């Protein structure tokens, strides 16, 4: 999967590093962001192939980031996987309305997440 890049956004460095480690084993490059402002900026400047996006972030939440990207013609085609501890049905619906292509709740199965990412990057 040469040159595929994933933006990993979470305010918990351990989660970012764990996902990054597993994706790099698949030859997927990772861009890291730890708050909402940084995530939006990197999504716009780095134009990743996919975004893994936490919802509860400092400075700007994942729902807002998703909406800003999905309703912008330049970024609307970037798949977004929301990865969050928020597991209520209303949270899931809000995630979908905000542009999430997938909604994964924490704790999550790393192998399933990597397979999901690979599916999007191979399409």
pLDDT tens for the chain, 123 residues long, are 568 999 999 999 999 999 999 999 999 999 999 999 999 999 999 999 999 999 999 999 999 999 999 999 999 999 999 999 998 999 999 999 999 999 999 999 999 999 999 999 986
Query: In which domain, by residue range, is 92 found?
Result: 5-111
Look at the chain and report how many structural domains it folds into.
1
CA-closest candidate to residue 15, choices 86, 110, 102, 116: 110
CA-closest candidate to residue 50, choices 104, 108, 100: 100
Which CATH number does the domain housing residue 39 bear? 3.40.50.2300
Q: What is the pTM of this model?
A: 0.95
């Amino acid at each position: 999967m040469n040159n595929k890049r994933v933006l990993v956004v979470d305010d918990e460095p351990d989660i970012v590093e764990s996902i990054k480690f597993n994706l790099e084993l698949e030859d997927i490059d990772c861009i890291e962001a730890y708050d909402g402002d940084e995530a939006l900026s990197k999504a716009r400047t780095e134009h990743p192939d996919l975004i893994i996006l936490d919802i509860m972030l400092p400075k700007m939440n994942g729902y807002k980031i998703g909406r800003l990207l999905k309703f912008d013609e330049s970024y609307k085609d970037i798949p977004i996987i929301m990865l969050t501890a928020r597991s209520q049905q209303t949270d899931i619906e809000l995630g979908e309305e905000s542009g999430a292509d997938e909604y994964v709740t924490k704790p999550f199965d790393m192998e399933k997440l990597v397979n999901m990412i690979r599916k999007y990057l191979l399409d």
